[in-house]
Structure 1
Amino acid sequence: MKVPESDLIKPIAPEDGHYAGNVYLLTSGKTFSAAASFAWTFAECNIGTIIGEETGGMSVCYGDKLWYHLSVSDLECGISFKRFWYLNADEDDIHGAMPDIAVPASMALDKALSLIKRK
């Protein structure tokens, strides 16, 4: 089924305030959970440059929930039944989001600022 054109969200045009500059994301080994998933998506979609350290743990997220109604308690609950994770070419090479520019986390902001000042 084709989505009607009127239901699509159009990108913001530059004259309407679309940001077209460089975007930097700072990460460390303490970047976990939703922040690590965000970093993974940031990298996969080529949104900008990641500076710092590999995110902590494996980049994993869950989706596609099954919903249940518990009749005795009248509660509703959901559980994810799909797991998504980031893999490199080798399926044994599972890790967090990797930075484009690897520096210790304590130096990531300074590195980003130096890149911004150069442009």
Structure 2
Amino acid sequence: MIDLRGNTGGNSTLGDILLSYCALPDSIYYYSADVCICELYLKNYQVNMEDVKKSLAIERGIILEDVTLPYVIKSVGDKPVKATSEYMNYWKANNGKETEPREPRKPFDGKIILLIGSNTFSSASDFATICKDNGLAIIYGTPTGGQPSCYGDILSFTLPNTGLKCGVSYKYFRRPDFRKDPEDALYPDVFLALDPDSHFKGKDILWERVLQDIRTDKVPDIAAR
């Protein structure tokens, strides 16, 4: 059981590491992103457009000729994107870490239960979305505080006259099964809201409900996605 309530995000690699300890199918659907290349992007990353073109050609097989900035690189067509076999093997061998492969181990093959709520954001919500879109977990709680597909990754800049520091997103992250868009939140499989009386008494009725379902073997089966 993984409690993502109150988890406002962080490094998404931690979710990858967590999944690497679980029994996964041969391939899973993963997040993809549209990227906006602009002058601010080039300045923040201290690269020029020729560097970007070379990188895209080598890493993604995208050939760009003359482009006018800002230019948006689309990530997908009309079908969800699966994680590459290399990425899946990287997970299984290294537990998502850039280290030498670990000794073979038995992955967790039981039911994965996630708890989400209105204060589940960013990479925590992404992790839950990956699990739901791939049928990897059963989810309890209330809807997340943000959309499964959303803008993210920030470019920083300072306003010249006021000196105010600002940030603007340059990526649009698409959920693994973006055919479900638009959704205003990730919705749980089992909805159970915390009522005010329980909250002020310090009673976590969601946690108690999940434990009760586990003890009585009433955790729902994970539906095919």
TM-score, structure 1 normalization: 0.62
* Aligned residue in 1 for 2:213: 115
Q: Which runs of 5+ in 2 are unaligned?
A: 1-83, 94-103, 156-167, 195-203, 218-225
Q: 1:51 to 1:103 in 2, by over 3 A?
A: same
- Letter paired with 2:187: M
Q: 1:83 to 1:17 in 2, by over 3 A?
A: same
**Distance in 2 separating the partners of 1:4 and 1:55:** 30
Match for residue 89 of structure 2 among 1, 4, 8: 8
- Letter paired with 2:140: I
- Letter paired with 1:32: F
Q: 1:48 to 1:61 in 2, by over 3 A?
A: farther
SS of the equivalent of 2:210 reads: helix
Q: Work out the number of aligned pairs and report it.
A: 99
SS of the equivalent of 1:46 reads: coil
Q: What's the CA shift for 1:81?
A: 3.8
Q: How does 1:1-119 map to 2 (within 5 A)?
A: 8-9=89-90, 11=92, 16-59=105-148, 60=150, 62=152, 81-86=170-175, 89=180, 93-105=182-194, 106-119=204-217
C-alpha root-mean-square deviation of aligned residues, in Å? 3.5
TM-score, structure 2 normalization: 0.36
**Distance in 2 separating the partners of 1:34 and 1:57:** 11
SS of the equivalent of 1:49 reads: strand
Q: Which runs of 5+ in 1 are unaligned?
A: 67-78
Question: Which structure shows the higher strand fraction?
Answer: 1
Contact 2:151 2:170 in 1 (8 A): no
Contact 2:144 2:187 in 1 (8 A): yes
